[in-house]
Structure 1
Amino acid sequence: MNRVLQLFPIWALAFSAIAYLKPELFTGLKTLIVPLLTVIMLTMGLTLTPSDFLRIKDSKKAVLAGVVLQFTVMPAVAIFVSNVFQLDDTLLIGMVLVGAVAGGTASNVLCYLAKGDVALSITMTAISTLLGVALTPLLIELLVGQIVDIPTSSMVLSLFKIVLLPVAFGIVLNHFFKVTMSKITDVLPIFSMVSIVFIIAIIVALNANKLHSVGIIMLAAVIVHNGSGLLLGYLAGKALGFEPKVCKTIALEVGMQNSGLAVALAMKFFTPAAAIAGTIFSIWHNVSGSILASYWQRQSNSEKQQ
């Protein structure tokens, strides 16, 4: 099971290649993007408990730092990178969407592999996900509202339905049917992985022609965006005096985004081209996060042996 999950970037790249070469296989599935994302958020809820939200009182400073960095660093870097690479308005909107959403659930797995603070990672993801229902539309309005009309209230309502309801439902199920839910916990990441792989493939298919001209530029922009989040998250944690374990956790929480949500918002409120950034980010942040987690894991094991 873990081996299958570790190969997520390979699955994503393989299906992306198929979608790029044979877009007709996936373009008809575009109506599945929101339902698939809902499945991802439900599986996230099924892994959470009320204590994950209450844990904030035990790590107030770290949680606050992670959440503030999440909703400041990534949106700001998105604008900066878009200007540096001179992206057009549609691609800029896509970058801002990626920067303005909450942290991705993959950060929890990679935090475990990196020997970070997993409990803190789960709490940060849960808190940023809930806050994102309101903060994401507000950030998008603030950063790109002058470029395109932002249906802020409609976006909040969509996030309520796509994010808050399935996550809350999953938490309720996990709380009241814990024994039953524990039997399927191990397979939940597979459902999430399959869902995001199909979302990526659908968006690649819908943007096959545009990817030919902007793919390399967008990949470079996404690499800088993601790398900046990871680096600034770690350095900010260090500057605040947190131990390395917490710094790793903050870095992964800040640098890894819920890019599947960014894709869904792009498709619902903007254009398929605005979803390119989220699609590439979905693949790349798992590659960079896995490499970084592997490095930190080896570093931690080496320190224990000394």
Structure 2
Amino acid sequence: MNFVLLIFGFAILVKGADFFVEGSSSIAKRFNIPSMVIGLTLVAFGTSAPELAVSVSGSLKGSNGIVFGNVVGSNIVNVLLILGISALISPINIRLKTIFKEVPFVILTTVAMMVMAMDSLLDGSDGSVILRTEGFLLLLFFAIYLYSMIEISILGKEEYPEDDIKLLGVGKSVLFTLGGLGAVIFGADLAVKHAISIAESLGLSETLIGLTVVAVGTSLPELITSVVASRKGENDIAVGNIIGSNIFNALFVLGISSAIAPVTIARENFVDIWILLASAVLLIPLMYTGKRLSRAEGGIMVLGYVVYTAFLVFRTVS
């Protein structure tokens, strides 16, 4: 029954995020906010809303394993599994700007998160804690990043296609926004509650559940968005969705969660952060060869995620 309710919670999360984006984007458009700004804020929030809601709920419940596992696990899922599946469906052409500007920024945010999460290496203690002050620092980094992206999109010379945001009635827009947000919060609470129950009943750690089941479940919006974009040949959306989500998770989701309550990280989980960094660094040579992610490279990435999952299971049972 816990598995059924967990899946039900994920379904409410994903659909709630969809309604929230549709309603809030419609409201923003009524106030003549540029579509690119809407995309960088509301849509980015919408696709990462499940990660945010689950991590905040986990933080409030004192489930550090869920918080840490969800953020790091979702980012690994995004890079290896989702981008890999997208490339398997249709090879993804990559712009040089993505290789030398956007991916390095993902690496930089990952390193910033590592420094905060692994500071115990300096004193040799068994674990580490991301403090509230560090959480606020991550949020400051995110605010700077978001401001720079909005400024570039408004003042830059790049041309963007016309948006396809639906202009809904005022009442419907408000209903979709509030109802979607409520569904995200309710779905997150349901998912976290039953993920913890599953972990306890199977004798598994919260971190393992967070790194696998919860991470994949909360990454469903990114999966759907990138796969659909890949099939349509919208390469910038397929890749940009993953890059934006990883930055959002590392800076905003982890920042909010640790600002609410310090996040404790066990020493054995440091390897997961290193794997996250390695997967991000791996993107550069894979993207640079032929300026595309081929089906073969996508297969390698998916295989890498399968190996990582097997490693997690082995680490837990051994």
Under a length normalisation based on structure 1, what TM-score does the superposition of the two structures give?
0.37
Greater relative CO (CA pairs within 8 A, separation 6+): 2
